[in-house]
Amino acid sequence: MRMHWTIIAGLAVALAMPAKAQQKTGLAAAADAMGATTLASIQYTGSGSVFSFGQAFEPGQRWPLFVQRAYTASVDYLAPGMRLVQVRSQGEHPPRGGGAQAVGADQRTVQVVSGKFAWQEGGPQAVPNSAAAQDRLLQMWTTPHGVIKAAEANAASVTGNTITFKLDGREVKATLNAQNLVEKVSYLSTNEVIGDYPIEIAYTDYADFGGVKFPRHIVQNEDGFPTLDIAVSEVKPNAVVSVDVPANVRNAPPPAPLRPTVDKLADGVWAFTTPNARNWAVEMADHVVVVEGIGSEARSLAVMDEIAKVIPNKPIRYVINTHAHYDHSGGLRTYPAKGVTVVTHEMNKPCFEKVWARPRTIAPDLLSKSPRPLMFETVSDKKVMTDGTRTIELYYMKGTSHNMYNLLVYLPNEKLVYWGDGYNPPDGNDPRDTARTPEQMIDLYRVITQNKLDVKTIAPAHGAGPKPYENLLKAIGLIPL
Ligand SMILES: [Zn+2]
């Protein structure tokens, strides 16, 4: 334990007795060692690697890597608020996994939180996203000095070198090293696919920046694999940080409940679209097949309401899952919660069974509140689902770089195709997706041509649609624009 002596300059020698030793312990010692007490704000900059959580190439493997060209966090502990500027570029060569690979030009994102408000900067005006405020504040209060301040404000307990407190109902643990500097912070987060999962942040290689100690190496792990690994190059204690809430963010109405727009793709085939997510319902003789449990439980319930309107009086019996990325399977559990059979690649079944059995204490869902037996049908290379009239064909997208166990959905009579990822048709007349290079679009084209599919219309999971199939061919340069 580091000792702190009260010494009044010039009087120390004159005193008959030495000044009484004041040995600060626990939180106070950490605050002193870190230089947290007089720190009202901080800005730190680094670079390294960033990884796309929930977008692994293969279920259970590490998150895909991107280059983090820049990472600048500006924290105002008093507001409280934080602005996080990140610039990323392609990290996997060749592309491997999701997270909107392969990145073309560098992508810059600016995320801000200020109290209960959150927004995105970088466009012509701020884009409100106050649903993200809770997570971003948690991120802010788990920075090296933030965690000390949050512990002080939330009646933390200290046992040995471990500080424990509750923030927003979640337990946060901070571990101190031998110099009383914060070396690790951990807490539980939640995700629709995997339920409760651990976030662990390691702060190492401390240096002094104008009396304030700050780690020069930050590694964040989420559910066992890194999501961030940066070397810190510059630290400015008490930097000027402005997180004033823009008027359009302050006055933004609360987000409306999700209501999908409904498009009829063909007789008995419907698409349900919410911002950046689409799925289908296919009417069979005596039941409904849903294509993709994309998004969240809230979205799946909203889609079920719409399905009941366009295909009344037929039960949903199957839900097809293209792949196990968390955006595509976030709303999948809602279906088995209603007794619906999940159709997925055979290699995804054990993964879903494993992660769906995990605890969900932070955000219980329908299936965790009322568990019921899971029913799966699996696909190896190809599967045909038919009622004699309508046919759905599922193809294993072997050899694609987006995800190891990915399915393509094809309706041969309607000449319709659905995929999870690869090409997201943009709005407007130019079919090129300029943010990405075409590797994964070419993968998609290869699977379609290898299986000799006769495609007329595409209405995939992301992007605008329905669109003509020619748009994919134009996007990869096979036919002129
Ligand atoms: Zn994906």
> Could you give the 3-state DSSP secondary structure of residue 380?
coil
Mean of pLDDT values over 424-431: 92
The pair phi, psi for residue 140, each rounded to 5°, is: -65, -45
Q: What is the mean pLDDT of residues 273-302?
A: 97
pLDDT at position 23: 64
pLDDT at 1 over 60: no
Residue 310 in this model has a pLDDT that exceeds 80: yes
- Looking only at the bridges linking them, the beta strands covering 41-51 and 225-237 are antiparallel
pLDDT in the model for residue 12: 36
User: What is the percent of the chain with per-residue pLDDT over 90, rounded to a whole number?
Assistant: 90
**Average of per-residue pLDDT across 1-17:** 37
Rounded distance from Cα 324 to ligand 1 centre (Å):
7
For residue 244, the CA-to-ligand 1 centroid distance in Å is 35
Kindly list the strands in the beta sheet with 341-345, ordered across the sheet, starting from the edge strand earlier in the chain.
261-266, 269-274, 277-283, 288-291, 316-320, 341-345, 376-379
* pLDDT tier at 22, thresholds 50, 70, 90: low
63 with 225: CB under 8 angstroms?
yes
- Is pLDDT at 154 greater than 50 in this prediction? yes
In the structure, what pLDDT confidence band is assigned to residue 344 with cuts at 50, 70 and 90?
very high
C-alpha 168 to ligand 1 mean position (Å): 31
Averaged pLDDT for residues 133-149: 97
Residue 7: predicted pLDDT: 33
Confidence of residue 435 (pLDDT cuts 50, 70, 90): confident
Q: Compute, in angstroms, the gap from residue 428 CA to the centroid of ligand 1.
A: 23
Stretch 139-156: mean pLDDT = 97
β-partners of residue 113 are: 82, 118
Distance in Å, CA 97 to ligand 1 centroid = 7
User: Phi first, then psi: what are they for 130, rounded to 5°?
Assistant: -70, -10
**Tens digits of per-residue pLDDT, 181-211?**
999 999 999 999 999 999 999 999 999 999 9
Q: How far is the CA of 104 from the centre of ligand 1 (A)?
A: 17
Q: What is the mean pLDDT of residues 298-308?
A: 98
Return the pLDDT at 20: 43
Any idea what the Cα angle at residue 83 is, between residues 79 and 88, rounded to 5°?
Answer: 165
Minimal CA–CA distance to 271: which of 69, 411, 383?
Answer: 411
Instruction: Flag whether pLDDT at 19 surpasses 80.
Output: no
Q: How far is the CA of 111 from the centre of ligand 1 (A)?
A: 23
- Both tokens of 3, joined, read 């000792």
Question: pLDDT at residue 315 above 50?
Answer: yes
Q: What does pLDDT average to over the chain?
A: 94
Ligand 1 centroid from CA 164, angstroms = 36
Distance 247 CA to ligand 1 centre (A): 35
CA of residue 100 to ligand 1 center, whole Å:
8
- Residue 339: CB atoms within 10 A of its CB come to 12
Closest by Cα among 330, 331, 281, 328 to 422: 328
**Residues near ligand 1 ion, CB 5 Å cutoff:** 98, 325, 421
Task: Tell me, in angstroms, the distance from the centre of ligand 1 to residue 328's CA.
Answer: 7
Higher pLDDT, 17 or 448: 448
From ligand 1's centre to the CA of 99, what distance in Å?
7
CA of 413 to the centre of ligand 1 (A): 27
User: pLDDT grade, residue 362 (50/70/90)?
Assistant: very high
pLDDT at residue 9 is higher than 50:
no
How many angstroms does the Cα of residue 75 sit away from the middle of ligand 1? 32
The predicted structure's pLDDT at residue 437: 87
Taking the centre of ligand 1 as the mean of its atom positions, its distance from the CA of residue 402, in whole angstroms, is 6
Written as six digits, the tokens of 450 are 């290898």
Least confident of 61-65, 168-172, 225-229, 450-454: 168-172
* Per-residue model confidence as pLDDT tens digits over 47-97: 999 999 999 999 999 999 999 999 999 999 999 999 999 999 999 999 999
